Structure 1
């Protein structure tokens, strides 16, 4: 069995190498403010934090994911010089912890148990990580202004007063009750899909890992097809945060059209389980090149979908996927 930290590092590298991933940096495309090689540096810089996740807490007292995440983010930022893989690391750290812990299981149930075991200290470390990089986030839901992640370590007193664990904090973003988007008629704002993984047992990650494992061809191409499936399934959180929910839904509808599947009226198919595997495997990457150019020109950057793709690659690698032909 390969080392979980090696697999996590490889997942970060293969994710950015996959192309086309419409709207994202890949091996053929840079964005105006973000280059391919920055992601390579971010993957290298994050490694000490991933190693911390694999070690866990001395004496087995807890998952220690908060400290590992903060270290990974700071290392990423130091080497890349910017925020390249914040969301990827938020998903990879608990996955690495689960894979490295002989007492845990790399499965939806195992990840759910690990996330529920997080502590207030994990939450405090998570907030400190926001001081290392700029992260596009929505305003907190009503009644949670004191837990706005943009406050960084200034939010520590409120976290401790509430007794909020890391999972508790992420649950606020996963289900932003009462939140609405500014776009006319857009309806409720798009939930944070990465946070939802934490509260739902990583269903998107494991479903996309199945797509990758059962697909054929180069691993980076399989990752690119899985990206399209994830984008078609649900609107992207980063697109919603930066361009509005209506644009995020439209982007998902365009991905669904490329896959030849019908959207469910919200601009997406209606979740990963509603995306047929054969539609993902049959994705036309040549046609996706045109969509990629359009998204870059329009400033549509589905970064959260890339995060989920990276997490799926990690699970696929742990289950036998290889980069060798």
Structure 2
């Protein structure tokens, strides 16, 4: 598959970002409730302005990351999408290469450079994500000494987005896509499929955005609560009120499962790319 047979990548990325906002995702900003000082409009603007830089033909992964965050910072002024960008930039670059998406991504991640790390570090500094803290190894305030995958490997134990770079995005393909496929088989529409993806990630592992801000015990408590709700209430229209109550519960405590939202967008992006037969693994 060559680039010209791909879907419209800017539109595909933008649609993945906005589809996530249409779904009821406990703890995040979405159409059914704002929260954490943000609005749906902030995230829609972020999707619009980051779409072209993150899918810029021929750009490196680092250039895509930095360009997308610079555009977001200029138009929104706060961190709405760093995790989304960190996940979707390599996916966009791999899709552009053609061939089976999962295989192309695995090759691309092993080719990341120190230049990619420098651009990603600059983007992270600009976004200033909550709860980032300092690190003894490969801190983003210092010039990188390893490639981007190596830098991510050093953070993989404490950050699931970093872990994705080491595992070839295994969670996206094995947790997110499978949750979506299961939801589709149950006859759920795209909105509820996105909710199913979100809840699958939230119940699978502690959200590292929550862990950075509130500690691992709180993140595990949220994971366990999400798993309990999934056991009690099947995802679908009948789950609207229980999920909305869980949403209010999380927001009352200031608990934002941002990593879960980022993985949800990445899964929707992958699913849209893989509708084209040549990109399937």
Normalised by the size of structure 2, how large is the TM-score?
0.88
CA distance in 1, matches of 2:240, 2:275: 24
Greater percentage in helix: 2
CA distance in 2, matches of 1:129, 1:119: 15
CA distance in 2, matches of 1:217, 1:43: 25
Structure 1 match to 2:126: 132
Structure 2 match to 1:318: 273
Match of 1:223 among 185, 191, 194: 194
> Relative contact order, CA 8 A, sep 6+: which one is greater?
2
1:133–1:140 Cα change, 3 Å:
closer
Structure 2 match to 1:88: 84
Match of 1:37 among 34, 38, 41: 41
CA distance in 2, matches of 1:14, 1:34: 17
1:127 Cα deviation (Å)?
1.0
1:112–1:140 Cα change, 3 Å:
farther
CA distance in 2, matches of 1:18, 1:256: 18
CA distance in 2, matches of 1:291, 1:251: 10
1:166 is the counterpart of 2:157:
no
Match of 1:202 among 146, 166, 169: 169
1:213–1:3 Cα change, 3 Å:
farther
Structure 1 regions of 5+ residues with no counterpart?
A: 58-63, 176-190, 262-277
Deviation per residue, 1:140-199 (Å, 9 max, x gap): 55x41xx212x1xxx12xx2xx3x001111111103xxxxxxxxxxxxxxx211111110
Q: Does the 8 Å contact 2:153/2:163 carry over to 1?
A: yes
CA distance in 1, matches of 2:148, 2:36: 33
Aligned CA RMSD, in angstroms, stands at 2.1
1:212–1:281 Cα change, 3 Å:
farther
1:18 is the counterpart of 2:11:
no
Q: Does the 8 Å contact 2:55/2:93 carry over to 1?
A: no
Normalised by the size of structure 1, how large is the TM-score?
0.77
For 1:1-325, what aligned pairs fall within 5 Å after superposition?
1-19=6-24, 21-52=25-56, 55-57=57-59, 64-102=60-98, 104-107=99-102, 109-140=103-134, 143-144=136-137, 147-149=138-140, 151=141, 155-156=142-143, 159=144, 162=145, 164-175=146-157, 191-207=158-174, 208-214=176-182, 215=184, 216-260=187-231, 284-320=239-275
CA distance in 2, matches of 1:14, 1:316: 12
Structure 2 regions of 5+ residues with no counterpart?
A: 1-5, 277-281
CA distance in 2, matches of 1:195, 1:6: 26
Where 1:252 maps in the other structure, the secondary structure is helix
CA distance in 1, matches of 2:238, 2:201: 12
1:299 Cα deviation (Å)?
0.9
Query: For this pair of structures, how many residues does the alignment match?
Result: 267
Q: Does the 8 Å contact 1:239/1:303 carry over to 2?
A: yes
Where 1:308 maps in the other structure, the secondary structure is helix
